[in-house]
Amino acid sequence: MVHLNFFHLFGLYCLIVSVKGWFYGRPDPGLMTRGEVWPLPMNVTTFNNFTHVINPATFQFTTQLNCDILQQAFIRYKKLTFPGYAQFKEQVLKQKSLKATLTQLSVQVTKGCDSGYPQMGMDESYTIQLNPTSTSAVLKANEVWGALRGLESFSQMVFKDSNNNWFVNTQTISDKPRFPHRGLLIDSSRHFLSVSILKRNLDLMAQNKMNVFHWHLTDSEAFPYASKRFPDLSAKGAYTPRHVYTQSQIQDIIAYARLRGIRVVPEFDTPGHTGAWGPGMPGLLSLCYDENGQNTILSNLIDPTKDANWDFLTQFFDEALNLFPDNYMHFGGDEVEYYMLWCWYRNSGIMNWMQQHGMGNDTTKLLNYFFQKLVPLVKAARSNTTMIFWQEVLDLGVAPPSSIAHVWKGDTYDEVMSEMYQVTAAGHYAILSSCWYLNYIKYGADWGYVDNSEIKQRGMYYECDPTAFGGSQAQNDLVLGGEAVLWSEFVDGTNLIPRLWHVFS
């Protein structure tokens, strides 16, 4: 977890096979690791290569705690630590030849269990001690979230030989993440993604020690979020009544993520990218006009001049903020400039209202009005909410105080870093995504250098560093981390997992 890695070991490994090919010798796809941990831990000390033998049939994960998170994790990691053992148990037991020298992993959590949810700032640090002389491995963490990361690392430290003997190297690992926010954006508006696919994706995030599921829930294409207070939003805005997430399904996903130490940060993109809100909430969107004054443009922008819309937004976010337990919520705010021209500037009713309210013709002032007016209703619903916005909201100077900047633009690496410099110089916390637009696929370069014209020279996925903008230590301290994004224009349940993770199955 030293580096901000988004890459599954096999995905990376497969690229090496593919790019280098036979000219550089043929790697062995059947090769198993010898217990290397991914992402690379902060500190690893090896005891002169002594290797413990483990018997999967009798090995125990133990804890003194009565803790659902650990009990559930033990069930998962018994499988994940000994892949294939369950299926081939008989054969394994028959073939086993070596006597076990390690019999348990003892998990100790200083602060005990956590009945709540993972939050920004959770302590994910942990240590694993495996001594040649002890039959017990020890995993220590301050918080249960760190214990989960340690269990993942331990499962990766265990390996087996062709005789089905299982081993683990004697090592001391001391690890903690470089960044507190290691996220992945999944877009369930452009294509609907089933609950089972989202859960599978959470498993893989945990395997890679990623800790934030940024759920881009709604957009112009579809509104799959089922509000109880406003059922028409999904009834009329989802692709079909079947392509929705009920609140119990959302709670199920949040609970599934919690058990893996993953935060679920929902995004309700406003005031733009709201086209799919319209069918279920007449009057919410502004009428939009082309250069000839014709109302030909499908609206994608909320009309903030109507009180009724603020009554709606108050009720809507009150419900959403009480459904999602994460202290952070993403409110979008990207790509409104064109719609401001079409749907506000050319909308006489809105222009009249703006003039009456001293905004003249400056639609940016109306945009500012929208975001500032969001704050009290958000705080009223949940006072401790931190608001995240896409970078334009910060760039335009219309963001509420202490908003977090989500940097996603930039045609070059320099532009990206310059934006990171500016938002942190302005004192904002920042999350970087520009470097990791995983939906930009390209033959022969899926994970390598990206020369797609849309992100020309943005740099290597691996080499992009969110703090490489040459700022002060104070600025670096404002960098919360990064988020890979997989926009779903060309992604659905059939290709999301391979495109993101490329796991051999």
Handedness of CA 461, 462, 466, 469 (dihedral sign): negative
Give the CA dihedral 213, 214, 220, 226, nearest 10 degrees.
60
Stretch that binds a second copy, among 26-34, 54-62, 379-387, 456-464 (CB under 8 A): 26-34
Give the CA dihedral 366, 371, 376, 379, nearest 10 degrees.
170
Give yes or no for residue 191 binding a second copy (CB under 8 A): yes
- The residue (of 35 and 237) whose beta carbon lies closer to a second copy is 237
CB of 162 to a second copy, least distance (A): 9
Handedness of CA 443, 185, 479, 111 (dihedral sign): negative
- Catalytic-role residue among 319, 335, 337, 415: 335
- How far is it, in rounded angstroms, from Cα 122 to Cα 261? 9
Annotated catalytic residue 454: no
Give yes or no for residue 222 binding a second copy (CB under 8 A): yes
- The residue (of 91 and 494) whose beta carbon lies closer to a second copy is 494
- The residue (of 103 and 439) whose beta carbon lies closer to a second copy is 439
CB of 292 to a second copy, least distance (A): 18
CB of 414 to a second copy, least distance (A): 22
Give yes or no for residue 358 binding a second copy (CB under 8 A): no
Contact mark string toward a second copy, 32..71, x via CB under 8 A = ----------------------------------------
Name residues contacting a second copy, limited to 322-351 (CB under 8 A). none
CB of 277 to a second copy, least distance (A): 12
Give yes or no for residue 29 binding a second copy (CB under 8 A): yes
The CA-CA-CA angle for residues 118, 124, 128, to 5°, reads 140
SS3 category, 383: coil
What is the 8-class DSSP label of residue 183? E
Q: Read out DSSP for 151-214?
A: HHHHHHHEEE-TT--EEEEEEEEEE--S-SEEEEEEETTTS---HHHHHHHHHHHHHTT--EEE
Q: Work out the widest C-alpha separation in the chain, in whole angstroms.
A: 86
Stretch that binds a second copy, among 15-23, 42-50, 141-149, 341-349 (CB under 8 A): 15-23
Tokens of 298: 């499908």
CB of 216 to a second copy, least distance (A): 15
SS3 category, 12: helix
List the end-to-end C-alpha distance of the chain, in Å, as a whole number: 25
Name residues contacting a second copy, limited to 416-445 (CB under 8 A). 439-444
- The residue (of 178 and 243) whose beta carbon lies closer to a second copy is 243
Contact mark string toward a second copy, 133..172, x via CB under 8 A = ----------------------------------------
Give yes or no for residue 298 binding a second copy (CB under 8 A): yes
Stretch that binds a second copy, among 76-84, 123-131, 185-193, 360-368 (CB under 8 A): 185-193
SS3 category, 405: strand
Give yes or no for residue 499 binding a second copy (CB under 8 A): yes
CB of 241 to a second copy, least distance (A): 8
- How far is it, in rounded angstroms, from Cα 95 to Cα 400? 64
Residue from 9, 17, 42, 98 touching a second copy (CB under 8 A): that is 17
- How far is it, in rounded angstroms, from Cα 151 to Cα 105? 9
Cβ atoms < 10 Å from Cβ of 246: 14
Please list, in sequence order, all residues whose beta carbon lies within 8 angstroms of the beta carbon of residue 391, skipping any fewer than 6 positions away.
334, 405, 406, 407, 408, 409, 419, 423
Asked whether the beta carbons of 263 and 120 are under 8 A apart, the reply is yes
- How far is it, in rounded angstroms, from Cα 432 to Cα 419? 10
- How far is it, in rounded angstroms, from Cα 367 to Cα 352? 15
- The residue (of 163 and 361) whose beta carbon lies closer to a second copy is 163
Residue from 242, 307, 358, 401 touching a second copy (CB under 8 A): that is 242
Stretch that binds a second copy, among 74-82, 319-327, 466-474, 496-504 (CB under 8 A): 496-504
- How far is it, in rounded angstroms, from Cα 57 to Cα 52? 15
Number of residues that bind a second copy (CB under 8 A): 49
Asked whether the beta carbons of 370 and 352 are under 8 A apart, the reply is no
Give yes or no for residue 289 binding a second copy (CB under 8 A): no
List of residues contacting a second copy (CB under 8 A):
14-15, 17-19, 21-23, 26-31, 190-192, 220-222, 239-240, 242-243, 275-276, 298, 439-444, 446, 452, 454, 489-490, 492-495, 497-499, 502-505
Which residues are tagged catalytic? 335
